[in-house]
Chain A
Amino acid sequence: MGLLKASGGNFSPTPGVEERASLDHADPAVRRRAVQALAGEAGAVDTLVAMLPHETDNGVRQAAFLALASAKTAAAAQGLAVLLGAADPALRNGALETLATMPEHARDLLDPLGRHADPDVRIFAVLLAGEIHDGDIAQWLIALAQAEADPNVCSCLAEALGGTGAPGAGEALAAIAARFPGDPFLGFAVDTALQRLSEG
């Protein structure tokens, strides 16, 4: 007992005797392997996006999100955007984090997400915009702030606008405050954002 003598065997290739992995197997470890085996295959994106809402194990989900992040395609981004409307917060957050890793595709999704009927999806659109370091993002946020009617989305917009330092952000914040004159929280959020803007 105690420290073993090194065998050198840890670095030798081992022949695969893996059980055939299936996405609907009862064991999450097997489902995780099935997800990993899909990576890079044609049609994998559709399969992953379809299985994610039904998958409850975080390890399997994370493998699926990583496979989508690695795919880095417009189709993967589209599929992830659909998941932003899911009821499960962990699923929505995972989709948002993964979308943020592919800004080149996520950028094109901001407009439809910003017009989505569900305010929660619009909030995710604003959060996603905050993850995309692109000069046009501030203008997109300003345009969204002109007409957004949901106070929770506006609160999120105020925070995002406060970090842009863009010309026009102050006017957009003032417009939000004017739209909700009786909402003390939004008033506070706008004041804080204006303060950040003034501090540069």
Chain B
Amino acid sequence: MKKKTRDIFFVFIAAIVIFAVTAIAMVFPSGDDGFITEKAFEGDKEIVLTTAQPVKNVPAAEAFTVFEENDPDIQVHPQSVSVDGKKIHLTFSDRLNQSNAHMVKAPELAEGTGPVATEVSRSYWGFLLSILISALLINNYVFTKYLGLCVFMGTSKRKTTATGMGIVFTIVMLLSAVMSWLANRYILVPFHLDFLQVVVFIGLVSLTVQAVDTILRKVNPILFNAFGVFLVLVIANCIIIAVPLYMASNQYNLIETIMLALGAGGGFLLALYLMSSVRERLELAQIPECFKGLPIAFIVAGQFALAFLGFSGLQIG
């Protein structure tokens, strides 16, 4: 039984990782624009272009024209231009809105290559990946946002229960996030019913839980016997309502919402698995009487939270 739990856990984590790796593979498309080989945003105010040959004619900053693709009338010039071998750094005085694609136009930079016109945009797959990894590790809902702790403490005593809870939670999270997105996009926003967010989202969660409960009971009774008990607990988990609220306030689209839900669910599963591994060992350890049970679990969770602080420097996308 123990081995089976571990298998389920690894298969599930592996599925998420494979998905992430596929996404990474698509982050770096082989972009070939002739003279300009690579282009990217750097920091808030910089665009870096990499050229195929060293740059000979360095133009003045005013010679570069940059505008957002969907707004060609508003053109800006970089504040300063610096060339370092094959790299051209364009620094701007104001922040660039990196969620929009930017067009960069420049005069001829080397003999016989012609004027440059290229499009700089943040990779969308990279952005999606950053949502997933951020919800999974950097902003792990349990260890850095302190949500879902009641269920977290209640179900992390055994690896079997921890894995079961994590998987059921991820599935319900995914379903209810998609439904909340639909409700938010097509009902709440068009009719200006934003103040009903809490009622509608939690209603959809209860609906999903009830539906999964009924369907699973009929379709796969064995699975229901294993995981049915966790379904009710899903409602008492703050994460399940925090994700739709976060999605609504950031105006995510459907794919971004799915990534956020996967990251939040996977992060919860990861946290549960880590915690249950420690707690199984704690049972054999000699702990002062008054620390037994929940107090020591909280202190362990605090140490995990300290460790997860280390992810806060991670930058993706």
Q: A and B from one assembly?
A: no
**Which of A's residues lie within 8 Å of B, judged by CB?**
none
